[in-house]
Each structure stands twice: as C-alpha cells, then as structure tokens.
Chains A and B, each alone.
Chain A
C-alpha cells in the first residue's frame, strides 16, 4: 500500500469518522440509572465505614485503650498497692498515730509545768 500524506488520509477517512460520530451508541436509561445507583451505594458504604469505630491491635491493648490508657492503669495500680499495703500491715503499727497524740498531750502538760517552775524560780530570785 502506498504511503499517502496524513492530510489526504484524513480527508478520505473523514466520511467514515463522521458517520461514526453521527451514530453514537444508543443510550440506555437503565444503564445510567445503574451507574447513579452505584454512586449512591458507594456513599452509603462510605458512611457505614466512617461510623464504624477504628479498633485494632491485640485484645489486651484494646482493653487498656478502652479503660483510659496508661494513665488510668497507673492510677489503678497505685490504688491497688496502697490497698494491699493497708490490708497486710499489722493493726499495731497504726498505734503510732494514736501514741503520737498521747505524747503530744503529755508533752504539752509537761512543758507547761516546766515553764511555770522556771517562772516561779525567777520570781523567787
């Protein structure tokens, strides 16, 4: 086949291309509605996905995340340690607090008595 210049080819084929342009495929409304329905379906899927909480990781990690993270775990551990300490410590050791009160009372009485003794000595010269 001889190699015709591009413009000649275009002119000779123009009638065929024009015919193709003049006979576009018939449009089916059902097809367009199906495409529009796909669009709606995608929107609904996206909304569902957005609403679903993003939960990932091991169950223990998820549990810790759900109860407030490491801060709440640290606080609970501290409370538990104090509870265990209070539970295991002998009740006698708590007397320290009551003894201290008694000692303070005794001290107060004694110091007043000493003070009054000194004052008496000064007055007597």
Chain B
C-alpha cells in the first residue's frame, strides 16, 4: 500500500503498522509530522541545519518508541512537539545568546512580488523579535499563535499548567508588541 493511500489512517494505527515493519506507514508519518516538527524547530532555533538535526532526532525517537507506543495515551503530534521543543531548549541553553544578525531569513522558492516581500519582511521581523524572548515564552507563543494549538495541548507539550501557558503567552506577546509595533509603518501595516 502506498503511503499516500494512508491519508485516512490515524496516527495510532500508523504507529502499529510501522512497529510491524510497514515502511509505507513510516513514510506517511514522516510526511505528516516531520514538516511541522521542522517548522517548530526552525522558529525556535532560527538555524536551518540545527533545526533539521533536531527534527530528525525527534523523528528517530518516534521510530524507536513505536513498538512500545500505547494507543490513546498521547497524540503523536503532541509527543513530537514535546520532544522537539525539549531538544531545542537544550540547544538554546547550550548556545546562550543569539546575534540577531545571524538569524537567517526563512528560505522559500516563491516569486518575489511586492506583497510577498512584505509578508516575508513581517515574518523576518517576527523571527528577530521572537529570538529576544526567553525560550519558554518563545515556545508558548509559537505553539499558540503560529502552530495554532490550544492551551491544554500546549500545557501537555510543555508539561505545565494551563494558567502557566496563558501567563507565558501573554508576557511573550507584550514583549513582541513592544518590539514590533514600532515597525508597523515600515512593514506596510499602517
């Protein structure tokens, strides 16, 4: 069975299939989750190579845990986000301090029309502002407002209370507003 024929198959079932040796299930899980894990890692680390390392490591841990995966206990996406965010936090704590000039722009192959350039500039400005947030605020804001998870899911990923998630996102957004709202005109938002 081709992996794209497994679009309707749930994550838990795919994990069982993979644990039984089905490589199409593994490819389906890869194409379903690896891009999201990579996106989160890039937003947190602002480094493409490091983000790919982290995302690959998180996925490798998923393959290792597959035979012992307990259905219904945790969502694969939540589990992956938790592993990836912990790996990112570890790396960021080791690095300590990122020069804003070092933050690369998100890569893309789309045509550079004016609107697209503005969107890119806003994303870049956000990325630079996010880099100034403490790592847990950055993670909470990313999961809430970019990955669009709800607070209980974020609380599960970060292993904190929902109130703590709300506090982290609120503080993060206040800092972001202070850093970004002065650039609104330059970024075509006024």
CB-defined interface of A26-64 with B at 8 Å, one 1/0 digit per residue?
Answer: 111001101110111011001100000000000000000
B contact patch SS = helix
CB pair B170–A13 under 8 Å, yes or no, is no
- In the bound complex, residues from chain A placing their C-beta under 8 Å from that of B174 are 1, 3-4, 9
Choose the segment among A14-22, A72-80, A91-99, A105-113 that binds chain B (4+ C-beta atoms closer than 8 Å).
A14-22
CB pair A24–B39 under 8 Å, yes or no, is yes
Chain A's closest residue to B27 (CB) is A36
Interface residues of B in 153-174 (CB under 8 A from A): 170, 173-174
CB pair A25–B34 under 8 Å, yes or no, is no
CB pair B48–A6 under 8 Å, yes or no, is no
Interface size on A, residues (CB 8 A): 34
CB pair B63–A17 under 8 Å, yes or no, is no
Q: Which of A13, A21, A26 contacts B109 (CB 8 A)?
A: A26
Q: Is B111 an interface residue (CB 8 A)?
A: no
Interface size on B, residues (CB 8 A): 51
- In the bound complex, residues from chain A placing their C-beta under 8 Å from that of B81 are none
CB pair B30–A35 under 8 Å, yes or no, is yes
Chain B's closest residue to A9 (CB) is B173
- In the bound complex, residues from chain A placing their C-beta under 8 Å from that of B145 are 10, 13, 17
- In the bound complex, residues from chain B placing their C-beta under 8 Å from that of A13 are 145, 173, 176-177, 180
- Shortest B109–chain A CB gap in Å is 6
Interface residues of B in 1-57 (CB under 8 A from A): 18, 21, 23, 26-27, 29-31, 34-35, 38-39, 42-43, 48, 51-52, 55-56
Task: Given contacts A19-B126, A20-B126, list 11 more A-B pairs with CB under 8 A.
Answer: A3-B174, A12-B181, A13-B180, A16-B126, A16-B129, A19-B121, A22-B119, A27-B38, A36-B23, A46-B67, A47-B21
User: Could you give 5 example pairs across A and B, Cβ below 8 Å?
Assistant: A6-B170, A36-B26, A38-B60, A39-B23, A43-B26
